[in-house]
Amino acid sequence: MTGLDELPIRDDLRGLSPYGAPQLDVPVRLNTNENSYPVPEPVVEAIGKAVAAELRDLNRYPDRDALALRADLAGYLGHGLSAEGVWAANGSNEVQQQLLQVFGGPGRSALGFTPAYSMHPLLALGTGTRWEPALRGVDFGLTAQEAVSQVRRHRPDMVFLCSPNNPTGTALDPAVIAAVLDVAPGMVVVDEAYAEFARPGTTSALAVLAGHPRLVVTRTMSKAFGFAGGRLGYLAADPAVVAAVQLVRLPYHLSALTQAAARAALAHRAALLGTVAAIMQQRDRIVTELRRRGLRVADSDANFVLYEVGGDQSAAWRALLGHGVLVRDVGVPGWLRVTAGTPAETDAFLAAVDRILSEAAA
């Protein structure tokens, strides 16, 4: 059997492993920030009807530009957006890859503030874009002064900001985004995959899109909408950015079935987003309970919590798995990330933590 080393792959890809979280059959899965609540039955029926209506015409290509879907997404986002300022693809990863294809590439660079979403540097690598890792401050925070200093130092063609940030859960002060926009020589991409879970009063970068043609805000339906299996991500930006992305998009990249399912989901967004408040409650409960047990916990505006385990995070991950709870080792030494799920899942996670702490103290 041929191995990778025997194929003429690019030198910068040798020795790497594909991105992915473990997919294990365990009682409690809290490792990939999915919405733990199943799609409500009325929404299932509506999506089924929408998809069924497309089946007879599968011999034809779908709407290449997904105009109706983009109009629906613009209506959901508000902020005066129209279809011309929205673009959709198969998950926000594909959206960000397209942005790197058109604004990054060989001879160009992208910068992100780590720890952050680990796909960003991988997407940069895949597009031949040099990745510049910048650092967050104490307690994973990022001030406008720190951000500006590092952007000025590296002069990247693209800056990636995450708000709320994955894996820390921290939301950015709008002043940070404004300061970066003032000094960045190229594009500024704000990844808002978890925006729907942010605490009241948290400002979205959508509020400052007008007048900033080099700002892009990316979103997803995978998290709050519980549409991870549907694979639908999107961006909001100046219409010129959307036109630029279309230079590199694959023809007919969004299937007719995906477009139909996503439009049906958006039409029933009240039902799908009805679980957000319950998930936020469990997130805050996890933060409170872990701190009550004496553990350090990062403040979170997302549907997950990053907490310090007080030692080897790999060993702590295995210990939790031994108790039937799967969380995520995101590579931050001494810390693990747990998704906020149902009350029963939170009960199971906290019970496993208590057993591990008890065993360590014995």
Question: In whole angstroms, how far apart are CA 334 and each of 297, 329, 331, 337?
Answer: 12, 9, 9, 11
Partners of 158 in beta bridges: 110, 187
What's residue 20's pLDDT? 77
Q: Are 249 and 98 in contact (CB under 8 A)?
A: yes
What's residue 245's pLDDT? 98
Domains recognised in the chain with CATH numbers: 23-38+274-361 (3.90.1150.10), 41-267 (3.40.640.10)
Tokens 């992208």: give the residue. Answer: 110
Peptide bond into 18 cis (omega under 30): no
Max CA separation in the chain (angstroms): 66
CA angle, residues 213, 218, 220, in degrees to nearest 5: 155
Q: In whole angstroms, give the CA distance from residue 190 to residue 176.
A: 11
DSSP string, 2-15: --GGGS---GGGTT
Q: In whole angstroms, give the CA distance from residue 227 to residue 73.
A: 14
**Edge-to-edge strand list for the sheet holding 215-220:** 86-89, 233-237, 215-220, 187-191, 158-162, 109-114, 130-135
What's residue 176's pLDDT? 97
Q: In whole angstroms, give the CA distance from residue 297 to residue 288.
A: 9
Where are the alpha helices (H) located in the chain, listed in sequence order? 41-55, 67-77, 92-103, 119-126, 144-154, 174-183, 239-245, 256-267, 269-272, 276-292, 313-322, 343-361
> What pTM value is reported for the model?
0.96
What's residue 1's pLDDT? 80
Q: Are 9 and 316 in contact (CB under 8 A)?
A: no
pLDDT per residue, tens digit, the chain (362 aa), is 888 888 999 999 988 888 877 788 899 999 999 999 999 999 999 999 999 999 999 999 999 999 999 999 999 999 999 999 999 999 999 999 999 999 999 999 999 999 999 999 999 999 999 999 999 988 899 999 999 999 999 999 999 999 999 999 999 999 999 999 999 999 999 999 999 999 999 999 999 999 999 999 999 999 999 999 999 999 999 999 999 999 999 999 999 999 999 999 999 999 999 999 999 999 999 999 999 999 999 999 999 999 999 889 999 999 999 999 999 999 999 999 999 999 999 999 999 999 999 988 77
What's residue 139's pLDDT? 84
